[in-house]
Amino acid sequence: MKPILFLDPVFKQMIWGGNRLRGQFGYEIPGEDTGECWAVSAHPNGDCVVREGMYTGEKLSELWKSHRELFGNSDLDRFPLLVKIIDAKDDLSIQVHPDDAYAREHENGSLGKTECWYILDCPEDAALVIGHNAASRQELEEMIRQGRWSELIRQIPVKKGDFIQIDPGTVHAIKGGMMILETQQNSDITYRVYDYDRLTGGKPRQLHVEQSIDVITVPAASAAESVKPAADLPKNTMNELITCDYYRVWKLETDQPFSFEQSHPFLIMSVTEGAGTINGHPIKKGEHFILPDGFGSVKLEGKMQLIASSIR
């Protein structure tokens, strides 16, 4: 019988962070400017540790190296996914990520970054920055170099329960007030296009203008293609939100006992609302765990909302 791998998150203080990871999720956060909870991560910048059971104290990156059978004997060179909860008290910088090919060449063999967002909470009339309004690369470059941000940046209205896929090359920014569950490739490569001229310790954060101009997709995908409403999906079933080259993501809401077979190389689950049990083990909002390969039957009981992911 393979164990459920419960993980302890790693927290990141950010210029734009807040304290809702404590207020809404009950985490012990390091400060009132905590922006990110790295909930399932084997990245060197925040490697989660197993909380209980036979692998207590082991880092996810170590388990990936020494117990690959837990992950379906995948031949990938690192744990492929990273799941975060983001508390944006303030606007995040406007940014873009490279794809694998660009990152391999320019970022020391790192992976590129495809990511997706499930909006856990947001203000009324919220909007995200997704895409841009430049018609050609030349126009994009002019708008960036001349700082014509309001012309360049495209804002799209969103609401709680929306799901957004952010492919490499997509200009994007999370806006103040949002709480988001992010599922992404295991990479930390971000090119900052614009940071609202904010200062940290008296200095602006570094921008990556040349790299951004290199990697931004022109023209941007349409606004309609970018946002998928996922607040009211059928209950007690795995609702697939996305399948792409790097991950699959599902949303599951339970209000009665729900059983399924864990048939993926591994399955990450994050409880984002409610409380209940998994195969009799209590779980609640804010907990994240991995069901290993060959885990078999899973029985969830309770009233919960979960976001799950795997590589296929």
Question: Contact, 153 vs 91, CB < 8 A?
Answer: no
Residue 72 backbone phi and psi in degrees, to 5 = 70, 25
Question: Contact, 53 vs 289, CB < 8 A?
Answer: no
Candidates 20, 192, 198, 205; catalytic one: 192
Let me know if 104 is a catalytic residue.
no
Closest by CA position to 265, among listed 61, 132, 76, 83: 76
Task: Calculate the alpha carbon distances from 102 to 81, 113, 128, 207, 261 in Å.
Answer: 19, 10, 25, 18, 38
Stated length of the chain: 312
Q: What are the residue numbers of the active site?
A: 192
